[in-house]
Structures are given as C-alpha cells and as structure tokens.
Amino acid sequence: MSEQKHPHDREAPRDTHAFRKIFLGRALRNEKLEGELLPKTVALPIFASDPLSSVAYGPQELLMILTLGGMSFLTFAPPLALGVALLLTVIVLSYRKVIQAYPSGGGDYEVAKVNLGRGASLIVASALLLDYVMTVAVSISSGTDNLISAFPGLADYRIEMAIGFLILIFAINLRGIRESGVSFAIPTYIFISTVFVMIGTGLYKFFVLGQELVTTSSNYEVGPIDEFTSNPTQVAVILLLLRAFASGCSALTGIEAIANGVPAFRKPKIRNANITMSLMGGIAVTMFLGTTWLALTSGVKYLESSHQLVDEAQRTIFENQPQQSLMAQIGISVFGEGSLLFYILQAATAAVLLLAANTAFNGFPLLSSVLSKDGFAPKMLQTRGDRLVFSNGMLSLALAAGALILVYQASVTGLIQLYIIGVFTSFTVGQIGMIKHWRRGLKDKSITSKEAFSGLFINGLGAFMTSSVLIIVTITKFTHGAWLVFIIMPVLWIVMYETKKYYAEVDKEIQLKPEQVFGSKGDYAIVLMDKLTAPQLKALDYALSSKHDLLEVVHISIDPEATEKFEKDWTEYGIQVPLRVIPSPFRDFGAPLAEYLTEYRAKHEDRRMAIYLPKYVVGHWWEHIFHNHRANRIRKQLMYVRGAMIVIVPWRLESADKIDLFTRAPLPGDVRRGQIVRGRGAMRRHVNGKNEIIHMRVREDATPEDVLDPNENQ
C-alpha cells in the first residue's frame, strides 16, 4: 500500500523552485525538525571541527612568533604550549557548567543577559558574532594554505579557491544540519585518525627506533628580526613571549559552539552536549601538544618573512616558493614527502580546516536567532528555510566572511591578528556571569552547596585565566591589526542596541490604546483603470461584489488621446459606475492618485478608502522583463496615504495557470479567475471550454450594486 502524502509535501512549482530543489533538496515540514537533531557522533564534527582543526594553525602561529626572537626562543615553546593546553582544559570544564545551567542555546550571551544585564550581553553577542565571522575566514584561508602546501602550483589561485570553498560550505549547510553533519563527519574523523597516527608514528620512530625526525626547513639558519636585535630588553622579551602565547591561544576558538548549540542535540540534550564537550577537549589537547612536540623535534622553522633567514641562498629559495604549513612539514618528517599518508594528512587537514567554518555556520545562525527573538537583530534571522535551518543567518555570515577573505587576500597571518579577541571577550564576560549565577543560587539555596562551590571554583579560575589572556591578546595584537576589532565590536553593540530600541518604539506605536475606536461610518472604493481589459474588469467585479458604500473607477490621464479612447470605450460598454479622470501632466500614475486620495481623506476622515489594483501573475521569471510592474510602484506610493487600503487583484496568465503551487489550492483571486469575454452589455468567462454567462446585462436604471451581480445569472 502506497504511503499517503500530506498535501503540503507535494513538490513546489517546477519553474520557480526547481533550482532551489536541486541546490537545497526537498523542503522539510516543521514536524521533521526532531529528525534533524544530532547524535553525539555527528555533533562532534559539526560543533568541534573548529577547535580540533585549530591544531593546524595554533602551534604554527605560536612557533612563528617565537622565531622572531631567534632560534633560542623555541625553548619557550613547551611551557607556552602547556599553558595553552591548561587554559583549554579549564575552559572546557567551565562550558560544561554553562551547558548544565543554561541549555537553551544562548551560551555566554544568555549567561550575561540573565546575570549581568543588557549591556554585558550585547558585548558578548558582538564579540561572538565577530568571532564566528573570523572563524570562517581564518579556517578557509588556512585550509587553502594546506592545500597549496601539497600542490604549490595552486598558489596563484588562492583567493579564488578560498571563495569557492566558502560557497561550497555555505551550500552544504543550507541543506540542513543533519546532512551537513554527515558530509563533514568523514573528513573530520579521517583528520583526527591521521593526526593520531602521525603522533604515534613520530613517538615510535623517535623513542623506539631512535630515528631522527627531519623536515624541509630543519636546516634553515634563522636569526632574530631587526626590530628585536635593536631592542633586546627584558620588556621586549616578555612581550614577544606573551604575543606567542596569545597566537597559540587561537587554538581555543570555537569551544563555545557546543554550549551555543545545545538545542541541536538529541535528547537528553544536556548529557549529550557535555559528553561531546569532553570528547572535544580531550582530543584537542592531545593533538595540540602532540603536533607542537613533533614540530620542535623535527626542527620545523615556520617564518613570518624571508628576512629572518641568515643564508642568502635559503632566502632566495624561500622567496620563490610558497612556505609549507606546519602540518605539511611535520607530515614530511614522519611519513616522508610524497608518501600516501602525507597526501592523506594534507587532504584531511585542508578538509577539516575548511569544514571548521561549519562550526560558525551552526553557531552564528543559532546565536543570531536568539538575538532576533530578544529584539536585538532583524526578525528575518528567526526564519527557518526549506531545510529547517536559519538560512538568513547563514547568508549574512557567508557575505561577511567573504568580504574579509577578499580584503585580506586569504592571508592567515593577516586575519589571525583580528582573531581570538572576540572569543576571549565572550569567555571572560561569560565566566563572570557564571560566578554571579552560582553566588545567587548559593544565596537563595536553589543550588546545592557542593554544586555551587564546584562551579565557583571552576568558573572563577576560568574568569581569571581568560581575563588575563584577553589583556595579553589586546596588548600584543593591538598594533598588529587588532585595533580594527575595537571599532567593529562597538559598532555591532550600537546596532543591536538601536535595533532593540526601534522594535520597542514600534511595539509601543501598534499596541491597543484605551481610546481606540472601531468601525467607520462608511467606505469609499476606487478601481484603477487605464484601458478596458479583462484583468481590469475583474478588479471592478471584485470591488462590486464587496458592496462598498461608494465606488468609482479612476483613470489617470497621461495621454489625452488614450484617455479619450478609454472614455469612449467606457461609454460603449455601458457599465453604470462613475468614472473619474485625474490628469497627470508629468506622466506619473502614483503621485496624482496619492494626492487625490490625501485630499479626499482630509474631507472625509471617518471613511475607509480601498484601492483595487489589477496585477499580472506570470509563470516564468523571464516574463517579468516584458511587464512594467506599474501596480507594484503604485502600491508602494499609496502605502504612505493614511486611511488607504490597497487590494491587489491578480490576473494569472496562461503560463502561471500551468504552475502547480504545492497543493493546487487556489491562489489569491483564483476563485474569480477566468478569461472574461466581452459581449454586448454582458460579461462572460471561459470555463472548461464553454462560455458561461456570469453577470446580467446593464440596464438603463441599474445601480452600481446591480451591475455585475454574481448572484444573478442569465
């Protein structure tokens, strides 16, 4: 027995939605939302791909900054890497507390809103929105870098590749979080497995076999940069170390995405989200420390510029070929250049870095929808698309990230300077909010003492560490491009604040008032006509059936000859409805009509005004080119006239009549749809191949109510 389909499950019109169906897949009903929720195995690659993939550029940026002071500074790499790993662990534990206390998906934003107020919550929101945009731009640029490391011939197409990857990830995400999760799970798990195999193989070769790990840059002779040699003071050393630590902390971005995405998990949501958070933390710490050790052991030299090289020949080689990424150089040292595992590593690294943008493509729309519900963002960000995802939020993210990629030419080094300030701002404010949450719970005894003291310790330690890192990041990165963040974030804050203020003003304006009076003493309707055609007579038919107190046909005269012909045809046709001609010396339809209606409204304030506008409905996009869209322009002008109600009366052309719109349910005007054939003093419509008389002839003594009466047939 075939399954009976719900009426709304039928396919959308072929001409108008075929491309969307191919691009996005079949539209899903609201009831399918539960099926789109994620198990832990799929949620891990969706929400954790950003922090997991940051192992590809976190250690790289840390080592690159250290080499600015010379080779001796690499001895500071192990303690700095351990500091990053410790911080990551504390933040993971802190967000487990956030998930437990605030599982609705707002994350740090909700924590700040509940505990610290509107101002603090908007700081978090602006920081996170910016960080999500940066995550997409940095991840895609870094993924492109790793691909170029394996195939140097692609270096000239860096920007084109990055934009292409952005569009691809955007398109996959539009198909739904479950489908995108399945698409992204395989590359993410291949990346994790390959990195663990690489770390294990490196440990085995070094400690068991006693082999020396060597990579392409091991023999580089690196000296400190000129700025450092001219000022080798203790302050300069400390600042360099702090800057390296701050760059390494880029590995911590995206940790908050799981806390923000709790609603996307399957039940039990809190438990599944916490397990996923723990898995992500353990894997990320292991890979970060492992790759840092391998890079130091194999002698990787990742440089900011060729000026750091002492040997002139090495400098020439460096300048004439793209620098291989840290992951590529480690892969060469462990697997061997050109080996199958090397190419698998590079392909998986490039894939997971590109897919790390997926973390933002899930976090940004969820956060923006929460902001929209609270009135801090446009309402359209709450709308779910055909595949039950927040497609408008995804589009906004893609456009912003694409602009950054173009401006910074897909350069990881350039983009990384804007990174992590936003995320550590949200970390710090969120941890402070959680401290207040535990203290309040302890005071009103809504939370057990054991749970409250545990939360106070973890979130207190997290607040101290993240605020310290935020200060470090701000000081060390401000002059290297991070100053731009301190312009963008306040702008976002102001925009969100003013958006809330705007919605509050609108709500106040539209709310019911005690003096509200209902009911008018009469209504006045007009039908706009420029010539006698079936669509315009249909509009008149509709107006007559609505039984208005006063009805007129209005003709805007832009051409005296055409007006004269219309008046002649009107007289010959014999419809007993008053005709009013309004001159328009400047050939405009909307302005003279709006002026006339404004004057009428001033004289009759107690009357409603209805304006009937006929409008063509076409079935193909290209048919819009052949029509002047006059009804749309007039409608926009009349919407500013007080007391005016605009009634669009559609006339579907044959091309539109062939469209099966979802259920074949009547569209607006379908009930009265038909080809109206003019007879002498009568109106007919073409139904199933027959001419059916639907209205009486016009009598000499007919009133407007008698004309075209649908209840009488001849």
Residues 427-460 have pLDDT tens digits of 899 999 999 999 999 888 888 888 899 999 999 9
* pLDDT recorded at residue 496: 93
Q: Is residue 709 predicted with pLDDT exceeding 60? A: no
Confidence of residue 664 (pLDDT cuts 50, 70, 90): very low
Average pLDDT over residues 544-549: 88
pLDDT in tens, 345-359: 988 888 887 777 777
* pLDDT recorded at residue 175: 66
pLDDT in tens, 584-612: 888 888 888 999 999 888 888 778 889 99
| Kind plus residue range of the DSSP H or E element containing 676 | strand 675-679
Q: Is residue 391 predicted with pLDDT exceeding 50? A: yes
Q: Is residue 679 predicted with pLDDT exceeding 70? A: no
Confidence of residue 516 (pLDDT cuts 50, 70, 90): low
What is the percent of the chain where pLDDT is above 90?
21
Q: Measure CA of the first residue to CA of the last residue in the chain; give whole Å.
A: 49
pLDDT in tens, 211-268: 999 988 888 888 887 666 666 677 778 888 888 888 888 788 778 778 877 888 888 8
The residues, any chain, with a CB within 8 Å of residue 402's CB and separated by 6 or more, are 163, 166
The residues, any chain, with a CB within 8 Å of residue 629's CB and separated by 6 or more, are none
Q: Which one, of 600, 460, 105, 67, lies nearest residue 299 by Cα?
A: 67
Concatenated DSSP letters of 528-585: E-SS--HHHHHHHHHHHHTT-SEEEEEEEES-HHHHHHHHHHHHHHT--S-EEEEE-T
Q: Which residue has the higher pLDDT, 659 or 304?
A: 304
- Can you list the domains of the chain with their CATH numbers? 55-499 (1.20.1740.10), 522-693 (3.40.50.620)
* pLDDT recorded at residue 123: 92
* pLDDT recorded at residue 179: 52
Confidence of residue 35 (pLDDT cuts 50, 70, 90): very low
Q: Is residue 510 predicted with pLDDT exceeding 60? A: yes
Amino acid at 297: T
What is the CA 446 to chain-centroid distance, rounded? 37
Alpha helices (H) in 175-268, listed in sequence order: 177-203, 226-229, 234-248, 257-260
| Angle, CA of 656, 660 and 661, to the nearest 5° | 90
Q: Is residue 703 predicted with pLDDT exceeding 50? A: no
Confidence of residue 691 (pLDDT cuts 50, 70, 90): very low
Look at the pTM and tell me if it is higher than 0.85: no
Q: Is residue 627 predicted with pLDDT exceeding 80? A: no
DSSP classification of residue 614 = E
